[in-house]
Amino acid sequence: MFHKKRNRWHLIKGQEPTEMDKKILFYQNKGHLVPTRELIKTPEQIEGIRKSGIVNTGVLDLVASEIHAGMSTADIDKLVYDYTVAHNAIPACLGYEGFPKSCCVSINEVVCHGIPNECEILEEGDIVNVDCTTILDGYYADASRMFIIGQTTPEKEKLVRVAKECLEIGMQTAKPYSFVGDLGNAIAKHAHKNGFSVVRDLCGHGVGLQFHEEPNVEHYGKKGTGMLLVPGMVFTIEPMINMGTWEVFIDEEDGWTVVTEDELPSAQWEHTFVMTDHGLEILTY
């Protein structure tokens, strides 16, 4: 029988325990999942992630200024690539586990991981998620935004708005020494109250020194569950909110594109955050 290894918080030999040590050990001794020391970023690392976040924000600002009906998703990808490399950075998506483009562009019923191409043209009424991750000097920052092309339906407008509210509620709920399950519970409650569902097969994640790190940040769940969130941790919150069922499938042809099972629209917003002594600080916009 194999037992899953749980994270353990260890004191530094020869040093007096800090207040953070004592708090984490308290939760660990109660059986909660806690981070390892490797997940606590140093001030220098956080500053590096913040600088990467500035480039990532600039990418999405450029997309916001240029996106329009009639352009292809490949046009968006070119904007992302050109801006990123012009700022001495690397688009993390390009080549990641074989992903062929510099960003993900996901339209209407596509939840995430849409692959840009020349034949996919934005149309009036589309809702579009553009997801970019930037590597600058070895540090990763990750964010996505929703865009409405021209005028769309009231139902799609509401979906986009509520998805952003879910991100904001998750951010407000995440406090030092709270749990991932606390923010997931708050997000799901808001989505359900508005008649929407929360995708369960994908989640937010730790980020900063790698593209994907611990913890898994699920956008549903029970309070008091999931990993303990402590100052110095860097992670994304990126709720994927569906108009219909939460269930999804992956396109068999490309192996990447995630689509809602009922092919009703989906919306997602994402930021990278660092936990501080006072709550979350946004590192991307």
Quote the pLDDT of residue 2: 34
Bigger pLDDT: 6 vs 209: 209
What pLDDT, in 10s, does the model give residues 192-203? 999 999 999 999
The confidence score (pLDDT) of residue 5 equals 47
Cα→Cα distances 12→31, 39, 232, 241, Å: 21, 15, 17, 42
CA 180, CA 222: separation in Å to the nearest integer? Answer: 9
- The CATH homologous superfamily to which domain 32-282 belongs is Creatinase/methionine aminopeptidase superfamily (3.90.230.10)
Q: Read off the amino acid at residue 34.
A: V
H/E run at residue 129? strand 127-136
pLDDT of 1 strictly over 70: no
| Mean pLDDT of all residues in 46-58 | 98
Residue 9 has pLDDT above 90, yes or no: no
Q: In what helix (H) or strand (E) does residue 236 lie, and over which residues does it extend? A: strand 234-237
Q: How does residue 6 score in pLDDT terms, banded at 50, 70 and 90?
A: low
Q: What is the mean predicted confidence (pLDDT) over 21-45? A: 95
Q: What is the pTM of this model?
A: 0.95
Could you tell me if 35 and 51 are in contact, meaning their C-beta atoms sit under 8 angstroms apart? no
Q: Residue 237 corresponds to which amino acid? A: I
Determine phi and psi for 246, rounding to 5 degrees.
Answer: -80, -10
d(CA 135, CA 272): 13
